[in-house]
Structure 1
């Protein structure tokens, strides 16, 4: 007598539906265990400084903008959120990172993520090594692109940083903002003040961002209510016949209002009253 095993005539189980992008990002952010739900980012990522009070030059972000490297920037910011302790590395499948940037085809996702990590490695922002089970070990390096080991920012004077809140992902701004919009959000956040100016004509020199890209990013942030004009200020200039020019003064709206800024560095205004003696919690 032939015995039929239970389920022997049933069809093979279907592959599970891959986790969605929002759910993947949530799991990654939850893994960080950051009590403040903010990501500390050194200003050096945007603007390098050669020694204390030295010459300033554009940072690694300028290269990402010039390359139209939106995906590497997205992965870098998310990596910065999750690498919060130890050797500041994370071991994960490429497919997980691919879902975090909205790619669900396994082959295409692995290729895209590999290319993004390559860009970040070339800029001296990460190292990459093979991990167990087909995973990759991504280690965050210092934001200035020097290839030096990462350390927690704000532990000493002269190490300015700013905070990117998790609402950047929670509210979908990682998807809704263009690359210029993201760049100007980071630049605005790095001002470390409640009120500040963003002179577009100085962006190429200061941050390596073209004036056109800066203007596009500013307009986009204002359209979404992230950046608002709160005032105007007069300044001295020989480019105007009168010797005086006028430019807008901006503020970032919650949740991007500055917080947990650390000790101000020499030359920074301290009238905003938003400084803290504590280094960011990693």
Structure 2
């Protein structure tokens, strides 16, 4: 009798979707993360195969749950939209995030950021951008044959993948859509939406007032026809006076 020895069962690898740390360390950092993420969502809203996420754990290697990073904002072109607990690259046709953003806070150390750069370089990021709101400084890296290379001049830089333009002003980082429109904060988007709603309501009211004026003018012409007939004016004269056709006057006179 031959005994078959079953291979030991490999324990299931768990890929956590959180490390218990906050998304951001302060309101400034959080505001920038939300602004960039929301505007990229808006920019690619009509493309079903662009996935944008904020503070999402990215696991590039199957079975290695210690190899992980959570970019402040990541963009994956070629993968469908939809909710994910984490980004497991082997389940996404092996496609890594092509574009990554990090927003610095005072708690970020140089060692931490050096490790992030090595991670993004090793696992296939094509464009990497770091913005420091406190210092109002912007740095970027672009992939070449040798890996991620520093972008020497970020002012008016246009992302090859996203087609957005970067600019720095005294007020901070400015990002511009391909159509030239500036990225907006949530407050600005809400304010613009409210202004557009008010403009639409004003236009509706103007149209309603114009309709009512037209109805009153039409009724006034109708009411004038019997009086003008009593004054012995001819159908032709009434039509000319009221700006109506002869047939219209005849029809209204018979009502």
**TM-score > 0.5, shorter chain as reference:** no
TM-score range, shorter chain: 0.3 to 0.5
State the structure with more CA Rg.
2
The answer to which structure, 1 or 2, has the higher relative contact order (CA under 8 A, 6+ apart) is: 1
TM-score of the pair, normalised by structure 1: 0.30
TM-score of the pair, normalised by structure 2: 0.32
